[in-house]
Structure 1
Amino acid sequence: MSAIVQPSLRVVARHFRNPLPGFGLSLGLGLAWLSVVVLLPLAALTIRAAGLGMDGWLRAVQDPRVQAALKLSFGTALVASLVALFAGALVAWVVVRYRFPGRRLLDALVDLPFALPTAVAGIALTAIYSANGWVGRWLEPAGFKIAYAPAGIVIALIFIGLPFAVRTVQPVLEALGREQEEAAASLGAARLTTLRRVILPELLPALLTGFSLAFARALGEYGSVIFIAGNLPYKTEIAPLLITIRLEEYDYNGAVAIAALLLVASFVCLLAINAIPLLFAHERRERQRE
């Protein structure tokens, strides 16, 4: 009997040690493709940026036109990400908590910026908000210029950043359910108190993750912005466009310096996305110990 049991136990143990057949080969191929597609280009950019030296890098970044483009890109990305965060949380709340005609259509429209080419989105937004567009013809006479202004850049970045905020908050709301809210209401908590003490603490990691994703995407957005921005130097010229201009001027050092700065900013956002769940998990463990 023991002779029969021991081989079966070895088979079970071997099965649990190797849950996927060919794991080593799959891992090697996956890392190889990742290196070719992602790591090698990023490494080349990093090495080229490091070769500039601190003086060359600062000389390229301290150019007034570069500083104006960086301020515009970072400023509009920050504003657009904050607006997309609140709007996305509201859309996710409506889609998860309410049942109404057209709900599935609204849920599908959230992913439209993912599927729509960014250039098409930029042309459509420009046609809507330009001086003779559907909305712009009413706003510009009232003193609200959208197209060819920073406001138009913010709207374009909100358009491409909204899905990130919705899709990070939506699964958390679906898993949260209504039991905790009903328990808080049965204990006499007001709606605002329930929102502040029960719902927001659970949604905060997802909200921060959605904000970081939207900010990282907005920082490097190109196609949907260049049509509605107007691309005026020192006014509506974004940093990704200035990289292209520097390359056309054969100023490779200037282009590499700007690209490296955007790469560092995006990498910091990705680190924050991965660190947020760990920080909140650590805080929860500390609370449970107390």
Structure 2
Amino acid sequence: MKHVKKGRLKSYSVLPGFGLSLGFAMLYISVLIILPLSMIFLKSAQAGWREFWETITDPRVVASYKLSFGASLAAGLINMVFGTLLAWVLVRYSFPGKKIVDGLVDLPFALPTAVAGIALTTLYAPNGWIGSLIGFKVAFTPLGIIVALTFIGLPFVVRMVQPILQNVEKEMEEASSSLGANRLQTFIRVIFPEILPAVIGGFALAFARSLGEYGSVVFIAGNMPMKTEITPLLIMTKLEQYDYTGATALAIVMLVTSFILMFMINLLQWLTNRRLTAK
């Protein structure tokens, strides 16, 4: 029998080595992400700083910033609450039609955003099925934009929280109950800390998705300047007017602000996960 030194043993894999895999990954990211984003900065650099500043600080543009970020934040918070609740129901309870409800959660992923916008506008318009029943106006208001953004962002929270809930051991809940804790205390002190990083991650994805949404919002918003006009619509308007420099200037503001917000949210998620792991 031949003796083989342990140090000379090598583990082989079907996949390429680290160097080759990293090279392909960086090439893929460079072509699809880094290169297109860098072109935005190069295109905007063609204009002077004064023109760039005047473009991004125009009162109409500033109003669109407030609406886009405010509505995205509101929709993300709504989805964070009700998406977690929906995930809880799908994981912890069995009821007729459960698989149908679970499949409907992914519908905003498959449904074209323009179709979603038309459907929501039809429902929430003053003469629509829902709009005619409620006592206030939804369509063509900032509230309608929040409704559309909530619709397209819900699956992110549900699909982030759902697998974490499935992995939470029921023995922990039983132990908490045996120690005298009621259901609310068990959820707050035992279950919620386990799913909190997933909830934050789902909120971050829903928030980021809402910032760039266009198709489902443009119909229900009404697109009234200074009132219901979102930043992606202004970018499209400038592109239609062949004002590529102005469009890229607005895109840079959205890109940089979104990156900073996403970095802060991911940092919060990492700190939360680290704190829970250290316990």
Partner of 1:5: 3
TM-align CA RMSD: 2.0
Q: Residues 217-272 of structure 1, C-alpha deviation per residue, up to 9 Å, x if partnerless? A: 00110000001111111111110000011222333332112111111233234434
- The structure-2 alpha-carbon separation of the partners of 1:72 and 1:281, relative to structure 1 and needing over 3 Å to count, comes to closer
Q: Residues 149-193 of structure 1, C-alpha deviation per residue, up to 9 Å, x if partnerless? A: 111111000000000010111111111132211111100012222
Partner of 1:118: 113
Partner of 1:264: 256
- More displaced stretch, 98-107 vs 277-286: 277-286
Of the three residues 50, 60, 64, the one matched with 1:65 is 60
1:19 aligns with 2:17: no
Of the three residues 64, 73, 85, the one matched with 1:78 is 73
Partner of 2:176: 184
Whole-Å separation in 2 of the counterparts to 1:9 and 1:117: 56
When normalised by structure 2's length, the TM-score is 0.92
1:153 aligns with 2:148: no
- Number of residues of Structure 1 aligned to a counterpart in Structure 2: 278
Partner of 2:33: 38
- The structure-2 alpha-carbon separation of the partners of 1:134 and 1:210, relative to structure 1 and needing over 3 Å to count, comes to same
SS of residue in 1 equivalent to 2:227: coil
Whole-Å separation in 1 of the counterparts to 2:149 and 2:101: 20
The alpha carbon displacement at 1:285 in A equals 5.3
Whole-Å separation in 1 of the counterparts to 2:260 and 2:37: 14
Whole-Å separation in 2 of the counterparts to 1:149 and 1:277: 33
Whole-Å separation in 2 of the counterparts to 1:67 and 1:273: 23
Of the three residues 223, 229, 232, the one matched with 2:221 is 229
Whole-Å separation in 2 of the counterparts to 1:110 and 1:173: 16
The alpha carbon displacement at 1:215 in A equals 0.6
When normalised by structure 1's length, the TM-score is 0.88
Greater share of residues in helix: 1
Same amino acid, percent of matched pairs: 52
- The structure-2 alpha-carbon separation of the partners of 1:277 and 1:67, relative to structure 1 and needing over 3 Å to count, comes to closer
* Structure 1: gaps of 5 or more residues: none
1:97 aligns with 2:92: yes
- What amino acid does structure 2 have at the position aligned with 1:70? Y
Of the three residues 209, 224, 231, the one matched with 1:217 is 209
